[in-house]
Amino acid sequence: MFDWDPSTDLLVAGGRDRKLTFWETPQDKPGRMLHHVNEAHSRLITAVRLRGGEMASSSRDHLVRFWRLEYTRPPQQQQQQGGSPTSPARSVLVVTLLHTFEEHSHSVWAVDFNADFMVSGASDNLVGIWGRTTKEEEEKEKQKKSDVPASRVEWTLRCRLEEHSSGIRQAFLLHSHPDLCVTGDIYGDLRVWDCREGRLRYAVPDQEGASWFRHSGAVASVSQSDSSYLAVAFGSHRLTLYSTARAREELQVARAIDMGALVDPSGLVRGVVATPVEIYVCVFSGKNGIVVLDMWDEEKEE
């Protein structure tokens, strides 16, 4: 699993080796590996989310972990013989574990966060919702646990909700509505949650007249192109675009795509990245590849 933050040009990846690896990916020069965290989790890392100087990760070890990322500049190197200074030292990325959340009893497959909320989803069918700790809550927590540094008092668990009938595979906080979260499970069912009120707003219904589209594979990936559309990929070659204009009341289907004619029949859709113009769909099979679609037109390239 990986995530990329365009605001910092950082990319992070994690997987079966239980390691988190960070790369710098500037557009004007070659990328380089900055740092890695060995044994970030004790089992497979299932999801990572990178937002500025913060990151969340989830794993089959039942845990969600929250990290702080910051750069430190090492002391300047000594001058070379003859008095000329050496080239400036590069900044060093420091990754610090701030908190470990143990609210799930089974593998955690999904995590996402923004400035106000963090959400997680797991095989125990539970959605966890956290809110940023207020100053008042922080002071109370520090009084109860005087040995806990303020940097660790970060999130407060608001609720654990069970409305899915199968394990959750994706959790996504909408850019257009930062207090709304979309989750998807193994059966292909979608739910929309109100993080501020800690409740289910609605279940997304099947698309009328397209019985092939839903309940035909686990929700494999969710991505939002901008503030207008949400792309949802299903494991069995299904893809849909939802309008998020009225997301508090409903997700309206804007376009449904059967990917079966575009990808290797033996493959499974494993990821989708939506931009305002194109949709990138990653397919895992004997012939791994990426299918690129126009937002509204046909396939562009493969």
Task: Quote the CA–CA distance of 255 and 249 in Å, as a whole number.
Answer: 19
Q: Which helix (H) or strand (E) holds 142?
A: helix 135-144
Q: Whole-angstrom distance between the N-terminal and C-terminal Cα of the chain?
A: 22
Q: Which of 281, 276, 173 is nearest to 220 (CA)?
A: 281
Note whether residue 290 is domain-resident: yes
Residue predicted with more confidence, 75 or 172: 172
pLDDT of residue 158: 92
- 299: confidence class by pLDDT, cuts 50, 70, 90: very low
**What would the pLDDT profile of 221-246 be if each residue is shown by its tens digit?**
888 877 788 888 877 677 888 999 99
**What would the pLDDT profile of 158-178 be if each residue is shown by its tens digit?**
999 999 989 999 999 999 899
HEC letters along 167-236: CEEEEEECCCCCCEEEEEECCCCEEEEECCCCEEEEEECCCCCCCCCCCCCCEEEEEECCCCEEEEEECC
- 78: confidence class by pLDDT, cuts 50, 70, 90: very low
Q: Which of 222, 206, 107, 105 is nearest to 174 (CA)?
A: 222
Q: What is the pLDDT of the chain when averaged over all its residues?
A: 80
Q: Which of 6-20, 24-38, 189-203 has the lowest mean pLDDT?
A: 24-38
* 150 CA to centre of own chain: 26
Percent of the chain clearing pLDDT 90 (strictly above): 42
pLDDT of residue 209: 47
Phi-psi region of 62 (alpha: psi -120 to 50; beta: other; left: phi over 0): left
DSSP 8-state class, residue 138: H
Supply the range of the domain harboring residue 301.
217-302
Q: Are 168 and 218 in contact (CB under 8 A)?
A: no
Q: Which of 138-152, 208-222, 258-272 has the lowest mean pLDDT?
A: 138-152
DSSP 8-state class, residue 43: S
Q: Strand order in 219-224's β-sheet? A: 219-224, 229-234, 238-243, 252-258
Note whether residue 276 is domain-resident: yes
pLDDT of residue 77: 45
Note whether residue 115 is domain-resident: no
Cα–Cα distances in Å, from 143 out to 5, 148, 250? Answer: 36, 9, 43
Percent of the chain clearing pLDDT 70 (strictly above): 73
The total number of structural domains that make up the chain: 1
**Tokens coding 243:** 């309008």
pLDDT of residue 211: 47
**What would the pLDDT profile of 131-149 be if each residue is shown by its tens digit?**
987 666 666 666 665 554 4
Residue 263 has pLDDT above 80, yes or no: no
**Tokens coding 27:** 């557009």
pLDDT of residue 215: 46
Q: Which residue has the tokens 């990929």?
A: 233
Note whether residue 67 is domain-resident: no
**Tokens coding 129:** 């919702």
pLDDT of residue 72: 81
pLDDT of residue 150: 46
Average pLDDT for 15-41: 87
Phi-psi region of 39 (alpha: psi -120 to 50; beta: other; left: phi over 0): left
Note whether residue 239 is domain-resident: yes
Note whether residue 284 is domain-resident: yes
**What would the pLDDT profile of 90-115 be if each residue is shown by its tens digit?**
678 899 999 999 999 999 999 999 99
Q: What distance separates the 2 farthest-apart alpha carbons in the chain?
A: 79
Cα–Cα distances in Å, from 79 out to 82, 84, 90, 92? Answer: 8, 6, 16, 20
Note whether residue 283 is domain-resident: yes
pLDDT of residue 58: 97
* 166 CA to centre of own chain: 20
Residue 130 has pLDDT above 80, yes or no: yes
Note whether residue 173 is domain-resident: no
